[in-house]
Amino acid sequence: MEAKSSRDSSWYDVGSFLNHRVTANGEFEARVRFTGFDRSHDEWINVKSSIRERSIPLVESECHLIEVGDLVLCYRKIGDSELYYDAHIVQIERKLHDIQGCKCSFQVLYDHDNDEETVVLSKLCRRSQ
């Protein structure tokens, strides 16, 4: 599973679920320990909106599966932080795959800040459908 941190809107792998509770408006929340982080990063996270099955790293043979409009998880390095944000594919520039693999470029629009960036396939994870 992966969970979206309310601190930075990035998705992280869930190491373990520590507890759960129901909020005053009837929403379920889980206390999550993130993989690779200690308990100072534990968070209460809304189960319905911000916990889901892990996204799947794309391999080059799956390049053709990605289409404009798709929701993807996009890797972004900011300073020392390695973050994974929800983004939508805006445009794809397809190139012929050769011995070095995929050379296509993908223009993405990040959901949380509406920033656009052009990335390569290896930075993208797809949602399982």
CB atoms within 10 A of CB 84: 20
Nearer to Zn ion, 87 or 102 (CB): 102
Among 63, 73, 74, 92, binds Zn ion (CB under 5 A): 63
- Torsion angle of C-alpha atoms 129, 112, 3, 102, degrees rounded to 10: 50
The reply to whether 124 sits near Zn ion by the rule CB under 5 A is no
With CB under 5 A as the rule, give the number of residues binding Zn ion.
Answer: 3
At closest approach, how far in Å is the CB of 58 from Zn ion? 9
The reply to whether 83 sits near Zn ion by the rule CB under 5 A is no
At closest approach, how far in Å is the CB of 117 from Zn ion? 17
Among 3, 14, 92, 102, binds Zn ion (CB under 5 A): 102
On whether the CB atoms of residues 33 and 43 are closer than 8 A, the answer is no
Q: Are strands 11-22 and 28-34 parallel, antiparallel or unpaired?
A: antiparallel
Nearer to Zn ion, 83 or 119 (CB): 119
Q: Measured over all CA atoms, what is the biggest interatomic distance in the chain, rounded to whole angstroms? A: 56
